[in-house]
Structure 1
Amino acid sequence: MNKFFTGIVCAITLTLTSCQFSENIYINADGSGKMEFSMDASEMMEMVSQMGDGEAAKGMDKVMDSTIVFKDFIRENRDSIANLSPEEQQKIMALEDFKMHIQMNPETKKMVFDLTTDFKDANKLQDMFKAMNSFSNLQGQGGASQNSPSSPFSGMGQDGSTAVSYSFDGTVFKRFSKVIDKELHAQSIDSIGQSAAMFGASKYKINYHFPRAVKSFSKEGAMYSEDRKTVTFEVGFMDMLKDPEVLDFEVVLEDK
């Protein structure tokens, strides 16, 4: 398998415990758009730079600005992928419609990862957690097990304990979560264990961009752009993991 890809997976897995996470959705007037999941691990880059030339710094000492188009990656590595277990193949194929953009600069202490996908209908938005679950589980042979503390997303998305869905009728946009397996969800939170302290300062930010001004947002504490077409809402990352419904909300746009 592509060594560069494997190295990127390991780097992202290492930095997951020191990320600021953003869920960004851009909706056009016709209901199409782009969904982006962003991880800012610049704080981790700062920590690694202070550690010097240790094991954790390997692979993070070079400037990088690269894009992985998973559809192309799958096509170019189809023979190698065919030799993987069915489970590993499924993880990779789940990323087929996504692109990963990586920016890393040890001098400016910048490390940002963006996972994006386009959609034709906002009602059919993919659960980004499914993609993150698949990606973060690609950690070499065997991947990350269910409820693994090495990835906070291992209990979410496909085959996990929670699911996130979206709906949009042109005026009302809804984001809603559901814990589909309460026992598994509890196990997921318990498995994070001591890593919870590392996530304590991490935030999960919603940035939604609409074709018309936002009339109302069902949660208190939201911020708006000057034209009110963009709404931003932020919660603690651990709060979101413990209670996914904290990010359930409804956005009502101004009349056409």
Structure 2
Amino acid sequence: MREIVFDTETTGLDPRTGDRLVEIGCVEMVNRVVTGRVYHEYFNPDRDMPAEAEAVHGLSATFLSDKPRFAEKVQDFLDFIGDAPLVAHNAGFDFGFINAELGQCGRDAVCTSRMIDTVQIAKRKHPGAKLSLDALCTRYGIDRSHRTKHGALLDAELLAQLYVELTGGRQIGLELVADAVVAGPTQIFSGTVVVRREFRPARPHAASVEEIERHRAFIATLKGPIWNEGAVAG
């Protein structure tokens, strides 16, 4: 299954009051494995950058002034995400900004039925715990030492690792066989390497009647075996 893990950076907290999208980073995953395909773009918001927002992501109005508008890149973005489910941390925030930008372009909104919110997954899995991306990366041992400021693509890459951990870890594709035989190849995921392995039924391992008789005859040739020491004759 194809999924897109993404993050955004903005000029503020609410598109309804004029805040705009300034960066988006998307990471493609197939069957919970990062494929290496990404989408990353900065956008000119055609407005100032509040100091408090710039302090978070480091994107100044000057830096963004020569970047394309969202409307100029909207088709590239839509082509990349396709109809895949969209994974984000506090996804309602990101969907709100994306759909506001799409609305300004005269495009249809992305349906929220495609939304997968890792905050909600983490809340169910770790009730009462801190749910920030930093806190959850620390919990799962995900290296974020290179994250000095928020950045859409970097945060999406970290979130892709976190999403794997929240939804089953590195062995999410592992299937164990009990009595039944699994027909056909099964995918087992190890890190970002997909190994296709055919499961086979267990081989018979009980000793045959002939083997048991040979073993009994061999035991009879032993003199003073240690398991007879201390035995009391009946």
TM-score (normalised: structure 1)? 0.22
Q: Which has the higher helix share?
A: 2
TM-score (normalised: structure 2)? 0.24
Larger Rg: 2
